[in-house]
Amino acid sequence: MAVAEILMMIKKDNSQSLKWMMRHTTILLLGAMLALGGSAVAQPVEFRAAVELALQHSGTILAAGADRDKASARYHEARDAYYPTITFGSGLGYSIGMPVAIAGQAPSLFNITHTQTLFNLSIRDSIKAAHSDSLAANLDYADKANQVLLDTALLYIELDNTTQRLAAAIDQKQAAEHALYIAQQREKEGVGSHLDSKRAELEAARVEARLAELTTARDVAREKLARVIGRPSDTLETVSGSIPEAPALPAPDDLASVALTTSNSVKMADEHVLAARLHARAEHRMKLPSVDFAGQFAEFTQFNNYAQYYKEYSPHNYSFGLNIRIPVLNLSQNARAAAADAEVLRAQADARLLRDQVAADAVRAQHIVSQLQSAAKVARLEYEVAQAEIDGVELQVQNGQANAHDQEMARASVAAHRVTLLQTQFEFLRAQLQLLRQIGDLRSWALGK
């Protein structure tokens, strides 16, 4: 409240009004001292720093990263089938009579076996399918990172916006309480009505309820943001000036096509369809011939009696050659191929449904943004009108056509319209960010890169 306004109130009200203002001024000073004391240990975090911290601490991103690494490892596992596999072992044992195989190998001091795939169309398709699965995992990682980015940005903006709304609500509460006090004093002096007192009391109760609601919303938003970025909630503060300016509205032409082109979810679904097709083709190609190169070196021992039964015995032995397999009958493989074909149909249907949903959501989000833009404009005009009405009320007070109660109610109305304006602005910005998320422009807005 300005000094001139306080002097005017002192002239118009009695000594009890002066005591009321002195008491509330003391409370405000104490509150300011507490606020200054708390700010000494406060830890302001700028918007982009909060987003980057969230990307580093997010459990969702860590899980997506693990899935990405697993898909990459499976791709390398499939691809490495064309590289040699070397195994060292031993078939050490004693023979009575002619040596016979132990676990599929002749008794030996040690042996070295190597195998390598030379021609296998099924494995080739499996490698391609694993590569598509790996690309899908990368897209899923990027998509979840964008979702974490959006959630963190909205939490930060919500906390900042709620803090501002809470400050406006405190101003509204002070004006409403002062208006109530004046209305009650006017009723006692016989110059005001009991209805005016009840109306002022009702307004003060409404403001009190809104204040409690905003306090809860602020504390919840601060706690959520603190846990997301890994900072203590009791000292966490936002920096309003660090929030980037609201993004420009996208052009209304063919927004659904833009969303379909940039959506990581759609790209991931397409990769899943491709991977399903390749998996199915790999199952079908299991019925085709395959060629492997294999070899084995074995060091034989004297106590296995090889010299008694083999004319040209040698302790050092090596065999190598091609292993050609031609499947003739495998009904189980036919069933697995049919099941893989069904998986392709399922993946195609899921991808089609997802594309329809992404296109519809983009158009819906665009219309929501337009609606909230109009609502934000209305809220701003109402706030400006309420501010202009204060000057009119002050002029009426000077002319004796209004009283201090009317003036305080006008100030409470301005604060209430500011709370509404801030709420509408937040909803408008949230809709804009959600639309940016759908068309792939959120990251550049939030991180500037």
pLDDT in tens, 193-227: 788 788 888 888 888 898 899 999 999 999 999 99
What is the tally of structural domains in the chain?
A: 3
CA atoms within 13 A on the CB side of 410: 21
Tokens of 244: 């980037």
- 61 Rama class: left (phi>0) / alpha (psi -120 to 50) / beta: alpha
Are both 360 and 241 inside the same structural domain? yes
Are both 62 and 30 inside the same structural domain? no
pLDDT at 290: 92
Are both 169 and 213 inside the same structural domain? yes
Are both 261 and 368 inside the same structural domain? yes
pLDDT under 70: residue ranges of the chain: 1-41, 249-252, 401
Which of 305, 326, 347 terminates a domain? The answer is 326
Q: Write a three-state SS string for the chain.
A: CCHHHHHHHHHHCCHHHHHHHHHHHHHHHHHHHHHHHHHCCCEEECHHHHHHHHHHHCHHHHHHHHHHHHHHHHHHHHHHHHCCEEEEECCCCCCCCCCCCECCECCCCEEEEEEEEEECHHHHHHHHHHHHHHHHHHHHHHHHHHHHHHHHHHHHHHHHHHHHHHHHHHHHHHHHHHHHHHHHHHHHHCCCCHHHHHHHHHHHHHHHHHHHHHHHHHHHHHHHHHHHHCCCHHHEEECHHHCCCCCCCCCCCCHHHHHHHHCHHHHHHHHHHHHHHHHHHHHHHHHCCEEEEEEEEEECCHHHCHHHHCCCCCCEEEEEEEEEECCCCCHHHHHHHHHHHHHHHHHHHHHHHHHHHHHHHHHHHHHHHHHHHHHHHHHHHHHHHHHHHHHHHHHHHHCCCCCHHHHHHHHHHHHHHHHHHHHHHHHHHHHHHHHHHHHCCHHHHHHCC
Are both 115 and 174 inside the same structural domain? no
Are both 272 and 144 inside the same structural domain? yes
Are both 368 and 262 inside the same structural domain? yes
Does the predicted model carry a pTM greater than 0.75? yes
Fill in the amino acid letter for 55: L
Are both 62 and 138 inside the same structural domain? yes
Are both 186 and 232 inside the same structural domain? yes
pLDDT at 40: 46
228 is in which domain, residue-wise?
42-83+120-288+327-447
Calpha distance 41→431 (Å, rounded): 34
Is the CB of residue 207 less than 8 Å from the CB of residue 413?
no
Are both 61 and 136 inside the same structural domain? yes
Which of 270, 297, 326 terminates a domain? The answer is 326
pLDDT at 41: 67
pLDDT in tens, 379-405: 999 988 888 887 777 777 777 767 777
- Give the angle 404-410-413 at the CA atoms, nearest 5°: 145
CATH number, domain of 128, equals 1.20.1600.10
pLDDT at 195: 82
Are both 334 and 392 inside the same structural domain? yes
Which of 309, 326, 343 terminates a domain? The answer is 326
Are both 35 and 7 inside the same structural domain? yes
Percentage of the residues of the chain whose pLDDT score is greater than 70? 89
